[in-house]
Amino acid sequence: MDSGRTLATLFREHQAGLVCMALLIVGDQPTAEDAVQDAFAAVHRRMDRLADHARVLPYIRAAVVNQCRMVLRRRKIAQRLGRTHEPPVWSAESAAMLSEDRREGFLALRELPQRQREALVLRYYLDLDEAEIAEVMGVSRGTVKSTTSRGIAALANRLREGS
């Protein structure tokens, strides 16, 4: 199978899940969709440089997380300049992807530090193991363990405070 068909197949099979993952990290549907599309485009441009084409999906996951990080960095810079970003989280598309009973958890997740949010999304949304999360995030397994543990504790505290 050629690389174009491989990516097209991966896009069809994983695009929706990757968009949901990105939504949980960046907070709005249009930005999440852009992050996934940009990640696939970046992987497509670099396919000839990938050593193991069987490992394209983990590479795409990492690319999506990196795109989300770029978005969050840009937002932080804009915020310092006095421009705040209020994502249209509860648009019709987002509401369809995120049911009412999950909104409280989503809002608490959005308040976590970026790395904790990424680790929890990769672990509990994509159900990746520690080694896979470490590969996607570019950190050690020990960092994944401690970040996930701190994220769960912080999320639990935020949810308790909100109830």
Domain 99-163 coded CATH 2.40.50.140 = no
Domain 1-98 coded CATH 1.10.1740 = yes
Return the C-alpha torsion angle 101, 107, 109, 111, nearest 10: -160
Do 117 and 155 form a contact (C-beta atoms < 8 A)?
no
Q: What is the mean pLDDT of residues 6-15?
A: 89
22-65 pLDDT per residue, tens: 998 988 889 999 999 999 998 888 887 877 767 888 889 999 99
93-102 pLDDT per residue, tens: 555 555 655 6
pTM: 0.70
Distance CA 16, CA 97 (A): 10
The set of residues, in sequence order, having a beta carbon less than 8 Å from that of 85 and lying 6+ positions away, is 75, 78, 79
The residue whose two tokens read 């590479």 is 59
Among residues 57, 69, 66, 73, the alpha carbon closest in space to that of 17 is found at: 57
Domain ranges within the chain, ordered by starting residue = 1-98, 99-163
144-157 pLDDT per residue, tens: 999 999 999 998 88
Other beta carbons within 10 angstroms of residue 6's beta carbon come to 17
